[in-house]
Structure 1
Amino acid sequence: MFLGTHSPRLDDKGRLTLPAKYRDALAEGLMVTKGQDHCLYVFPRAEFEEMARRVAQAPLTNESVRAYQRYLFAGTDEQKPDGQGRIAVVPELRRYANLRKDCVVIGAITRLEIWDAQAWQTYLDQHEDSYAQAREEVLPGIF
């Protein structure tokens, strides 16, 4: 399970050091893809393969399904962290997420999300008030 917030930096070669606490779960390989809200999603390979199986079961006759599959799979990069826990974030994905030097990596249960640090702060500022309301939709009757 991926939890927490970390603040790594991109180096000059576009590499990002993954937080040490996640490295074992990602050591066998990971998939980096475009997420919603202009962040990147990082899935362990097995988790991504399971998601891909579910996406592949959707009907190809549906235009939205085809568009989603194209966008998701064309924008995915397979990586294996190096000995120091670094992954190379390809230019297309850096551009999509507007990643500069300062980044934020958050745990989102089954995946990590990589955000530009300023974009993450803006997202938090914009969504702070709706957090309590969303809890009722996501977990009605809990808490």
Structure 2
Amino acid sequence: MFLGTYTPKLDDKGRLTLPAKFREELADGLMVTKGQDHSLAVYPREEFAARARKAAAASRTNPKARAFIRNLASSADEQTLDGSGRITLSPAHREYANLSKECVVIGSVDFLEIWDAESWANYQQETEAAFSAADDDDILSGLL
């Protein structure tokens, strides 16, 4: 399971060190793709394949499903960790997520998210009130 918040730095070559505690789970390869809210999503290869198959099974006549599948597949980049536990983020991915040297990697249970540190701080500030106010009758029904 991917949990926690980490603050690695992006180097000049676009390499980012992923937290050591997740390296074993990502040792068989991983996929980097666009995430929501201008973040990047990092999935273990098998998890990504399962999600991609599920997305591909959606109705191709639904324009929203087609758009989602196109974004998911066209932005996917297969990666393996180097000897130092780093991945190399493509220029397109770095631009999409507005990444600077200061990054944040957060666990999202079954995948990781990569954020620009300032964007993450802004996102947290914007969503804190909704998080604090959430109750069983709200979005959390059936989740907790």
Whether the TM-score (by the shorter chain) exceeds 0.5 is yes
What residue in structure 1 maps to residue 98 of structure 2?
98
Within a 5 Å distance, the mapping from 1:1-143 to structure 2 comes to 1-136=1-136, 137-140=138-141
Identity %: 55
- 1:53/1:9 CA distance change after superposition, 3 Å: same
Q: 3-state DSSP class of the match of 2:32?
A: strand
1:142 Cα deviation after fit: 8.2
Q: Which 5+ residue runs of structure 2 have no aligned equivalent?
A: none
Deviates more, 1:57-66 or 1:5-14: 57-66
Counterpart secondary structure, 1:128:
helix
- State the 1:66 CA deviation: 1.3
Mind listing any 5+ residue stretches in structure 1 that lack a counterpart?
A: none
1:2 and 1:40 mapped to 2: Cα distance?
A: 15
Shift of 1:60: 1.1
Please tell me the root mean square deviation across aligned C-alpha atoms, in Å: 1.5
Could you tell me the TM-score, scaled by structure 1's length?
0.95
Distance 1:22 1:35 in 2: 19
Summarize deviations over 1:26-78 as a string: whole Å, max 9, x none: 01100001011000000000100000110011111222211111111101111
* Structure 1 residue ranges, 4+ long, deviating more than 6 angstroms after superposition: none
Q: Name the count of aligned residue pairs.
A: 143
Deviation of 1:141 after TM superposition, in Å, equals: 8.0
Residue 129 of structure 1: SS of its match in structure 2?
A: helix
**TM-score when normalising by structure 2:** 0.94
Once residues 39 and 123 of structure 1 are traced to their aligned partners in structure 2, the CA distance between those partners, rounded to angstroms, is: 11
